[in-house]
Chain A
Amino acid sequence: MVPAPGSAPAPAPARTFDARAVRAQFPILREPREQPLFYLDSAATSQKPDAVLQAMDRYYSTCNANIHRGVYAIAEQATAAYEDARRRVAAFVGAGSPREIIFTRNSTEAINLVAYAWARSTLRAGDAIVLTEMEHHSNLVPWHMLAEEWNARGTAIELRFIPITPQGELDLSVLPALLADGRVKLVSVVHVSNVLGTINPVVEIARQAHAAGARVLIDASQSVPHLPIEVRELGADFVAFTGHKMLGPTGIGVLWARREILEAMPPFMGGGEMIREVKLSGSKWNELPWKFEAGTMPIAEAIGLGAAVDYLTALGMDAVFAHDRELTAYALPRLAAIPGVRLMGPALERRAGVVAFTLEGVHPHDVATVLDRDGVAVRAGHHCAMPLHEKLGVPASARASFHCYSVPEDVDALVRGLHRTRHVFGS
């Protein structure tokens, strides 16, 4: 077992798997292609195994019906499959109850749900929210929008930021000062940075935040797919994650929150299914979790996410983490040995399977374009984290990231491609 994420490094895993056998279960990696594919962009979105594609296909071809409504057999089957997916996700992240699992479109919608339904009904003028300098835009913009809206009507709230060190880690020495005046009502932090791979000490952050009377939101978009997570051990109040980065389909994400908080919150969106009783004069809300699931939900996608969670459980999240770590350990020295390559991010012990870098004299977009000629797929740009790049003093970076199907050959192709890039650019 890997210890609670955010604390000590992992010991040797009890279980391992053969990434080559895993690849055989992913059609996009298995089927012959005109050009080989070295997929190194799993932090943007992961590939999907047969089990996920088949589960979604099975729903559409055997029991496609709307859920929670029909009294006929296939509607009941569809409802059972959808709610079963919720139970699997709840078990996967250690939720206290499936009622604490709210399906959303993605992490972004989960964070916006908190910003609209919780924050707008809870915050008062003069309150503050603590974020960090390494957030993805999806954990910045909803709070910018809230702050602008509230400031415009004269109920100012303040956004404060935990700074990052040049190594790309949070500088927690300032956190006590940020929390000291008791005005902070929410601390919202990314668990694993999508740019640097930094695993943040969220347990410690949550402890301090709670002691100061603040709620804690963890953006677990990059951690739930790669580390063993028990939401209740993180000490958070809200946890957001997204299906498509964890071998599941796009269009489905999750907000987990402690039940009593969800009970006390007003709904987010209004519409069908989220109500118990509607009169022309008003409505009564449905119970959890449906209070937060307005309208027809992405049923096939939820079922696909359920299958993804089963797949990951069978691999073992401790083994997935160890696999990513092993590949990262393989990649770091090989990339560092290429003249002109500058690696970003913390030491191996504090990072997940993400490696961002720059190549001297070559713009990251040019790096990615030359690599693409060899079928090496990496991300280039600011990775939806412009403030982070600004802080680190690089306008953009290239990023390689792994998942359970990644193999050393992918890294080797990247290294070859970077040598070729240097050659093309004559650097």
Chain B
Amino acid sequence: MSEWDELFRENILDHYRNPRNRGVLEHPDLTYEDANPLCGDRIRMDFKISDGRIEEVRFSGHGCSISQASASMLCEEIEGKPLDEVKKLSREDVLEMLGIELGPVRLKCALLALKTLKAGVYGLPQWPGEEDA
């Protein structure tokens, strides 16, 4: 296996096979769902928010390994964090979490979770990294 294969297995597949924070919340303060029409990936995120913090977050949905793994990583990252800190997460942060090189098409898969988070919690519906476009 190549180095890319190894990285893919270690980073992506671990989260894809054993997703953290997968599921739904009983009484969420906020629910948001988004999709990538290009490939049909779909992610829903449920949030419990109090004292300016993301107390709990769960994701559900379906799609390729990259969209689902990045959702798992993102949820793990943001749970318990203050809203203003979470708001600063950028596309670079997500790519760093994924840790493998991706072409522009798969980038959308990787960013779907962050897009869902930003649209749901902050009302920012653009693709992360394309806010000014």
Considering only CB atoms, which chain B residue lies closest to A372 in the complex? B103
Instruction: Tell whether, in the assembled complex, residue A381 and residue B9 are in contact, meaning their CB atoms are under 8 Å apart.
Output: no
Q: Given A363-B63, A366-B65, A366-B66, check contact A396 B9 (CB 8 Å).
A: no
Q: What is the number of contacts between chain A and chain B, taking CB atoms within 8 Å? A: 46
Instruction: Tell whether, in the assembled complex, residue A365 and residue B39 are in contact, meaning their CB atoms are under 8 Å apart.
Output: yes
| CB of A155 to closest CB in B, whole Å | 31
Point out the residues of chain B lying under 8 angstroms from A363, CB to CB.
63-65
* Complex: A270 Cα to B129 Cα, angstroms: 41
* Complex: A425 Cα to B4 Cα, angstroms: 13
* Complex: A366 Cα to B70 Cα, angstroms: 14
For residue B133, CB closer than 8 A to chain A, the reply is no
Bitwise, B1-35 to A at CB < 8 A (1) or not (0) is 11011001100010000000000000000000000
Q: Which of B9, B38, B62, B109 contacts A424 (CB 8 A)?
A: B9
Q: Which of A365, A372, A373, A423 contacts B64 (CB 8 A)?
A: A365
Bitwise, A357-394 to B at CB < 8 A (1) or not (0) is 00000111110011011000000111000000000000
Instruction: Tell whether, in the assembled complex, residue A381 and residue B38 are in contact, meaning their CB atoms are under 8 Å apart.
Output: yes
Q: Which of B4, B13, B40, B64 contacts A426 (CB 8 A)?
A: B13
Point out the residues of chain B lying under 8 angstroms from A213, CB to CB.
none
| CB of A129 to closest CB in B, whole Å | 26
Residues of B within 8 A of A (CB): 1-2, 4-5, 8-9, 13, 38-40, 62-66, 103, 106, 109
Residues of A within 8 A of B (CB): 362-366, 369-370, 372-373, 380-382, 395-396, 420, 423-426
Jot down 30 A-B pairs with beta carbons below 8 A, ordered by A: A362-B65, A363-B65, A364-B64, A365-B63, A365-B64, A365-B106, A366-B66, A369-B64, A369-B66, A369-B103, A370-B5, A370-B8, A372-B103, A373-B2, A373-B4, A380-B39, A381-B38, A381-B39, A382-B40, A395-B40, A395-B62, A420-B1, A420-B5, A423-B1, A423-B5, A424-B5, A424-B9, A424-B13, A425-B13, A426-B13
Shortest 5 CB-CB contacts between residues of A and residues of B: A363-B64, A365-B64, A366-B65, A366-B64, A424-B5
